[in-house]
Structure 1
Amino acid sequence: MSPVPVHHHPLRFSLPRRRALAALLLTLGVGGCALPLTHPGGALEVPANWAEAGAAANAATIDGEWWRGYGSAELEVLIDAALAGSPDLAATAERVLQAEIAVRSAGASLFPGIDLNLRSNVNESRSAGVSTRAEGSSATLAVNYEIDLWGSNIASWQGSKASLAATRHDYEAARLSLVAGVANAYWQVLALRERIDIARRNLEIAERLHAIVEARYRYGSASALDLSRQRSTVLAARDAVLPLEVQERQSLRALAILLGEVPQGFAVAGQALDSLALPAVAPVLPAELLLRRPDLAAAEARLAAADANIAVARAALFPLKLQIGLSSVVSSAEFGFLGLGSPVNAAGLTVSLMQALFDGGRLRGQVATSESQRRVLVENWRKAVLTALKEVDDALGGAERVRIQEHTQREIRDETARALRLSELRYKEGSDALGTLLDAQRSLFSAEDQLVQLRLARLQASVDLFKVLGGGWHAEGAGSGA
């Protein structure tokens, strides 16, 4: 609420009245400062180390452009395009711009306001056949300034700065999520293409075996049942290719959206999953994670903004608001501003004091609300830290588990390929039934497909580990909102 200017004549108090007024102001001041402000602490015990096994001994610290460690030039191009064209990242950048504007607006309240008003007018009136003409011009310069007795304006400015820091950290978190999303979407496209190739090779094997069974059937060495079973196998193998092709096209379109490009006609060259490097990651200590995650830094900055909001709400309880206004008017009875060369000058000084004597508890309610909102943010911060600790251990454990599974699956794939070759030879010689050959074929297809999916899972686990460790971001390198 703006201060109400005082237009009364100066009040004169006798000595007893002055003492009574001073006692009243002191009572109001003490009452305004008496509301206790207690901030609950976010007590949290951070473990000394991770529960899951650590990374390799020769692992390197995380670089800010960690995705270059995979050795994929196309991935680097895709990520650069996403950082430049992503609609989500652009929207987050605009929120940072809005926060910067809010900081400048809050800082403007620390300075006096200066207004200049120029007027020039002509009035004509006619009465009883007599015309009267009046001309005038004026220039008014007014300066208004509210003295920040209790620091509410400064607290509001500091709160805006903390909110700006939070939005900047949000931008870094969105950027990290975007890079991880592009990498995982790219891995998904590559994996689907390899699975399509495996399905097509399986179809070729099924068709070749069908030709063998058909030849044996013509010579009476195979039954009609054997021929029908193999024909069913060919049809099933052919049908398995179609859904994978649909998924590959859908994944390409999803990748295009991340890059901010039109999905129709979007394509990538691609490469084999085995040609990609898997960079080792050295996880930071749990306590250091608080400085490595931009989302945690954003939650902490919002706590600082909440502290500032409490300070603003408490300042409203303090007695008296003091506003000083200074105005100077230059006027002339001539039309046009050239007439101000022979002016009439007037100047005025206004001092306004305002004190809320009774508000029904509204101001104290605002303080209590601000304190409650801060307690909510404390709990949100605690949950974010606990979630971050869980995510790192999950990522470490998941990466190690998938690595072991992939190694085992490679051995399974090699053995099933050998079994299929032997089974095909034995079937041609008449030593094995068709069922044994079909089982060997299905086992090889399943083993190869599973191996590609485990390689994809290992790449995605590596990306997730980079993401949950902050992707090379550090709090010291982020803007403080100043």
Structure 2
Amino acid sequence: MSLYSRSLLLAVAVAVAGCAVGPDYKQPDVAVPASFKQQAGWTQAEPSDALHRGAWWELYGDPTLNQLQQRLETSNQTLAQAEAQYRQAQALARGARASFFPSLSAAFSKTRSGQASGGGGTVSLSDGSTVSSGSSGGISNSYQASLGVSWELDLWGKLRRQLESDSASAEASQATLAATKLSQQSELAQNYLQLRVMDAQKRLLDDTVAAYEKAFKLAENQYRAGIVTKADVAQARTQVKSTQAQAIDLKYQRAQLQNAIAVLVGEPPSTFSLAETNDIPGLPQVPATVPSQLLQRRPDIASAERDVRAANALIGVNKAAYYPDITLSASGGFRNDSLSQLLTTPNRYWSIGPDFAMTLFDGGLIRSRVEQAEASYDATVAAYRLSVLTGFREVEDYMVQLDVLKEESGVQQEALDSARESLRLMLNQYRAGTVDFSDVVTVQTTALSNERTVLTLLGSRLTASVQLIAAMGGGWQVEQLGQKE
């Protein structure tokens, strides 16, 4: 290539270096409400999905839960899978970046060939084999050593768009990893809190069995004294056994939760156990002002936005196929029939020049690929907007759920207080012989039902609080945390 040609090609490359076909990325518009319906004080915030969210589970003040979350960080296999997929996406982006640099190759070859020009006969070779030979045929060896360099000029931005797409995909994979981690942390917290509520249910049933056994003994004493019939004794015994059966049933439910926690922390269920405790973790208080960090803090929304960016760049990659590919290549080396004389000046050779390739007719194939990329982009935009709407819906759902459960728990506690008082009065009347034991059984059943409902509502409130934290992307501002009811 002449100096003039090289200068002209360099000038063209510089002139179009800043050009890239296809649309430049613009984040899609989304419908953002001015505030949450269930919470006042919502204001617009800057993007911050990369901010550290902290150990939000510490809000519940349970050391065992804190330790389990630490084990999840290092041993959860779902996280390990997502982390490996993220590394794969990073490697793909590095591969796209490598396309900007020239590629250098080296080769060495030996070729042995024979040719016959006519007549019959054979030629004996040194290794004992024979080949057909004409009257002027023969065997020859050829050796070649070469170096080659090739560099594709990114005149139309195809490589840049591909790098843009792969980099955005890597960022989406990173956000997916964060979303997976938040999901696993949330699942662990919910299972653990429900297990502790179930421990409280078990203690309630054990205490109730003890109380029913006292009522059973009272019925036996009343029967021996001739005050009541044997039917009262049978009813009292039925109450005891029925409640014992309920307590036994909780063992299976607790074992399921414990096994689920074991898998989350990467341990076989057969070697994992959590001892019962007498405390239920505290319920965090939702801050009066919820910051507007939903769009920025939720990693699943961030991942969906990165997918849009990647799809947008692929439109440019496919549009670049309309334009020619230009590659600069050069090669040189040595070629000779003798290995000992290979690396000598008379045997050297070289070549240099550009390669120009362009599709002239493909029956609409390139156009179809561009349309596919554009349709894929539209689909990712719709998925992004849907993820935003879903995020706001989830926050609204969990906020109203917490409000309703709090109100319901207050009324339920009043009902429980009345049931306890009614049971106390009914037992006194039974001791005095003024009521039948069937009346006592009815009041006992009502009281126990109310006791269990109160605990069930507490479990639902704890679960909803974890779900709200996850819906907000993993907690609130540090200065707003730490308050408990």
**Residue 273 (structure 2) aligns with:** 267
**Alignment partner of 2:360: what SS?**
coil
Correspondent of 2:358 among 336, 339, 355: 355
8 Å CA contact 1:257–1:263 kept in 2: the answer is: yes
TM, length-normalised to structure 1: 0.83
The residue aligned with 1:188 is: 194
**Residue 428 (structure 2) pairs with residue 425 (structure 1):** yes
Residue 81 of structure 1: aligned partner: 71
Structure-1 residue corresponding to 2:103: 113
Question: Residue 407 and residue 354 in structure 1: after superposition, are their counterparts in 2 closer, same or farther (change >3 A)?
Answer: same
Q: Does 1:383 align with 2:373?
A: no
Match of 1:27 in 2: none
Tell me how far 1:431 sits from its aligned partner: 2.5
Change (3 A) 1:130 1:364: closer
1:306 counterpart = 2:311: yes
Native 8 Å contact 1:256 1:262 kept in 2: yes
Alignment match, 1:411: 414
Give the secondary structure class of the aligned counterpart of 2:350: strand
Partner of 1:372: 375
The match for 1:46 is 32
| SS of equivalent residue, structure 1 residue 149 | coil
C-alpha spacing 1:343/1:241, structure 2 compared with 1 (3 Å): farther
What does the per-residue CA deviation read over 1:375-413, in whole Å, with 9 as the maximum and x for residues that have no partner?
111111111111111111111111222223333333333
The question of whether the paired residues in 1 share the 8 Å contact of 2:197 and 2:280 is answered with no
1:48, 1:285 within 8 Å by CA — same for their partners in 2?
Answer: no
Task: Give the unaligned 5+ runs of structure 1.
Answer: 1-32, 56-60, 475-482
- Per-residue CA shift, 1:130-187, capped at 9, x if unaligned? 9788565432001112211211011001100000000000011111111111110101
Alignment partner for residue 468 of structure 1, among 457, 461, 471?
471
- C-alpha contact 1:62 1:466 (8 A) present in aligned 2: no
Name the counterpart of 2:331.
327
Q: Secondary structure at the match of 2:381?
A: helix
The one-letter code sitting in structure 2 at the alignment partner of 1:323 is: T
CA distance in 1, matches of 2:392, 2:380: 18
| Alpha carbons 2:297, 2:472 under 8 Å: kept | yes
- 1:96-128 per-residue CA deviation (whole Å, 9 max, x = no partner) reads 011011001111211111110123567899966
- Select between 69-78 and 452-461 the one with higher mean Cα deviation: 452-461
Q: CA 1:294 to 1:434, structure 2 compared with 1: closer, same or farther past 3 Å?
A: same
Q: Deviations over 1:217-262 (max 9, x none)?
A: 1221112332222222222212212221110111111111111110
| CA deviation profile, 1:20-76 (whole Å, cap 9, x unmatched) | xxxxxxxxxxxxx9x997999854331111101359xxxxx9952111121111101
Q: Deviations over 1:177-232 (max 9, x none)?
A: 11111110101111111111212222222222111112211221112332222222
Q: Report the secondary structure of 1:316's partner residue.
A: helix
Counterpart-to-counterpart distance in 2, 1:408 and 1:253:
34
The match for 2:253 among 241, 247, 252 is 247
Please report how far the alpha carbon of residue 325 of structure 1 lies from its aligned counterpart in structure 2 after TM superposition: 1.4
Give CA deviations for 1:411-441 in whole Å, capped at 9, x if unaligned: 3333322332222122111122212211221
SS in 2 for 1:264: helix
The answer to whether residue 97 in structure 2 is matched with residue 97 in structure 1 is: no
Looking at structure 2, the residues matched to 389 and 208 of structure 1 have their Cα atoms a distance apart, in angstroms, of 53
Q: Which residue in the other structure is 1:393 paired with?
A: 396
Separation in structure 1 between the aligned mates of residue 446 and residue 426 of structure 2, nearest angstrom? 12
1:480 maps to none
- Tell me, yes or no, if the aligned pair for 1:53 and 1:397 is still in contact at 8 Å: no
Contact 1:313 1:366 in 2 (8 A): yes
Equivalences for residues 1-16 of structure 1 within 5 A = none
* Superposition CA RMSD, Å: 3.0
Report the AA paired with residue 51 of structure 1: K
69-78 or 345-354, which moves further after superposition?
345-354
Distance 2:114 2:335 in 1: 19
* 8 A contact 1:116–1:141 mirrored in 2: yes
Work out whether residues 39 and 289 of structure 2, in 8 Å CA contact, stay in contact via their aligned partners in 1: no
| 1:449 and 2:444 matched | no
Q: What secondary structure sits across from 2:322 in the alignment?
A: coil
Matched-pair contact (CA < 8 Å) for 2:193–2:281: no
CA contact (8 A) 1:328 1:345 kept: yes
The alpha carbon displacement at 1:265 in A equals 3.3
1:140 equivalenced with 2:146 (yes/no): yes
Counterparts of 1:261 and 1:115 in 2: how far apart (Å)?
49
Instruction: Give the letter aligned to residue 307 of structure 1.
Output: N
Residue identity in the other structure for 2:448? F
User: What's the TM-score, normalizing by structure 2?
Assistant: 0.82
Using the alignment, how far apart are the partners of 1:282 and 1:109 within structure 2?
52
Contact 1:138–1:340 (CA<8 Å) still a contact in 2?
Answer: no
The residue matched to 2:297 in structure 1 has which SS? Answer: coil
Q: Structure 1's 381 and 332: CA in aligned 2 closer, same or farther, altered over 3 A? A: same
Give distance in 1, aligned partners of 2:288 and 2:195: 28
Secondary structure of residue in 2 paired with 1:144 = strand
Taking the aligned partners of 1:161 and 1:194, their CA distance within structure 2 comes to 50
Contact 1:331–1:343 (Cα < 8 Å) also in 2: no
| Mean Cα deviation higher: 444-453 or 303-312 | 444-453
Q: Distance in 1 between matches of 2:277 and 2:213?
A: 27
- Of all paired residues, the percent bearing the same amino acid is 27
Secondary structure of the 1:331 match is strand
C-alpha change, 1:248 and 1:238, in structure 2 (3 Å) is: same
CA distance in 1, matches of 2:171, 2:26: 22
